[in-house]
Amino acid sequence: MSLLKTAWKLLIGVKDVLTLLFVLIFFGALYAALSFSPNPAVEARGGALLVTLDGTLVDQKAENDPIAVLTGQASPVHETLTRDVVRALRLAAKDSDIKAVVLDLDRFMGAGAVSLGEVGEALADVRKAGKTILSHATAYSDDSYALAAQANEVWLHPMGGVLIAGPGGSQPYFKGLLDRFDVNLHVYRVGKYKSYVEPYLLQAASAEAKEADQALVDALWEDWQTKVKAARPKADIASFAQDPVAALQAGGGDLAKAAQAKGLIDALGSDRDFGTRVAKIVGGDEDRGPGDFNSTSLDAYLAANPEDQGGDVVAVVHVAGEIVDGDAPDGVAAGDTVADRIDQAVQHLDAKALVLRVDSPGGSAMASEKIRQAALAAKKAGLPVIVSMGNVAASGGYWVAMAGDKVFAEPATITGSIGVFGLIPSFEKTLARYGVTSDGVKTTPLSGQPDVLGGINAEGDALIQGGISDIYRRFTGLVSASRKLPLARVEELAQGRVWIGGTAHQNKLIDAFGSLDDAVAEAARRAKLDPADISVVHVEPQAGWLQRLFEPAARVTAAEMRIGADPVSHLVALRQAQMGTALADARHVMDGPAVQVRCMNCPPVRLSAPAKPSTWFNRMFH
């Protein structure tokens, strides 16, 4: 009887806790729902347009999964849409109520080269309109300085600094670890530059991979320097980047003064000093005290200036992130999800033209083909299909692009990587170490294959490699037909080689340089529409109230990641995020489909936190 009483009390206690939790969540959700959207009439009050770039710039935000937020598995990097920043800056350039643009880059974690270029061009338009741009940060790195360079006044905290590292760096190689556990990795690939699998085969990069990687980072570095030098010709970027120790010594050991001496910044000052300077231009905010200034936040400004939705629809469907099979929320490009959005544009939005915006390093070959087929179906329905490449459109991303009537890219776009690979681990040696063996019966050589316990036999290996080779032939044949290039020429350009946009254009892998706006205008013209009188609809789900509720928790800022504000800590944090992305990449390769068209040389579309490995990776190494 006492046991029943104890159990009953326990159940009552659990019920009370759950009730309290529900009440807290309910009122928290109610508060968030009521306070989430900025009130344009109150907040959009002119003065300075305050562009606070916490986290990263992306083409498409990752969706918030409330369960992932509650269990602590959400991405730790806040994301801002590049197109939102560009639109706000273009509006501000013509808005008489906006006297200046202020860039808060203290917690900016970076963006792709194309995104940086688009925002940089919009900032240049603000300057051409005669308005002042002011930037402030405690630490500037490559990406944040690329934007700050566009400012009339670049401010730096006296305890801060500028650290320009340039593209490049190291990545983990797992062969030694795999050998330690006697994992037998079966690798199938076509293309001598298809180096995605090298971290599992080698302990260092091959000569071919280093050749391709070096050419890529050299091109990106040259593009970065050219743009920064054009925006800020007085800055001695070359000597500062190539000999930072000498620059530091010349500055008396002071990072901030070293940057100022080289012309990278204009003024040293605290947040309050900077705010006082801005207030002299746009007016002070008396309600908030000294160092504050009249400003309008980015979100409030966009809310006060909604996009016009009139005229015929040109639909934009995003292929953003890793390409995966099936359905998935935004953050990855799921084949079924993207294909359904293309169908939705044709059948329900009555779109007159379609633009595929590709910002992906590839992934599943089957999912890539499903997206391409959906785009071809749109063409059969009479819609022009134009492709706009973002930061990365490589491997599976390039496969998708072959559906386009015309392909736009930017000089800094990373594309190509025409190659295929497959990777299957087997554990016969690992199990044998612990006395575990396998046996069974067969009816054909393929019975039980691929056998991850007993080993993959010669017939299985041959057939899998044959399938990989067949997909490679399909890939090169598709490129040959779509780009109107001889197959022999495609073979020269393929082999998994990654190209920057400028070289890709010379090699006829793309048609023209241009932004997403250029692609939309081209799509409108081909549909016999006036580009000035169309409605551009990005076919993606609108965030519901539950997603908006959990966004602050799911997209924590750099400060909440316990990243120090000083320049060294900031640089370390960037490297840690990149390492997290590399480890997450390794997990995706092992857990993903056996056949993939994915680019290793390409930078990530978004930064990831180190994730817990799953399946065999988890069982072996945890």
Positions marked active-site: 194, 395
Coil, strand or helix at 480: helix
**Contact, 240 vs 259, CB < 8 A?**
yes
**Contact, 391 vs 220, CB < 8 A?**
no
Residue 261, both tokens: 């001496």
Residue whose token pair is 């990687």: 213
Give the span between the Cα atoms of 264 and 224, in whole angstroms: 14
Q: What share of the chain is helix, strand, coil (3-state, %, to 5)?
A: 45, 20, 35
Give the span between the Cα atoms of 571 and 569, in whole angstroms: 5
Angle at 339 between CA 334 and CA 340, to 5 degrees: 100
Q: Where is 324: in which H helix or E strand?
A: strand 323-324
How would you write 25-47 as a 3-class SS string? HHHHHHHHHHHCCCCHHHHCCCE
Residue 525, both tokens: 């013209």
According to DSSP, residue 293 is labeled B
Give the span between the Cα atoms of 354 and 360, in whole angstroms: 18
Facing residues of 162 across strands? Answer: 140
Question: What letter represents residue 204's amino acid?
Answer: A
Q: Where is 426: in which H helix or E strand?
A: strand 420-426
Coil, strand or helix at 119: helix
Residue 299, both tokens: 């979100």
- Residues for the chain: how many in total? 622
Radius of gyration of the chain (CA): 26
Angle at 486 between CA 482 and CA 491, to 5 degrees: 95
Return the closest-CA partner of residue 391 out of 29, 122, 57.
Answer: 57
Give the span between the Cα atoms of 450 and 448, in whole angstroms: 6
Residue 123, both tokens: 């900032």
Facing residues of 423 across strands? Answer: 187
Residue 563, both tokens: 């990243």
Q: Which residues of 398-416 are buried (b: 16+ CB within 10 A; e: fewer)?
A: bbbbbbbbbbbbbbbbbbb
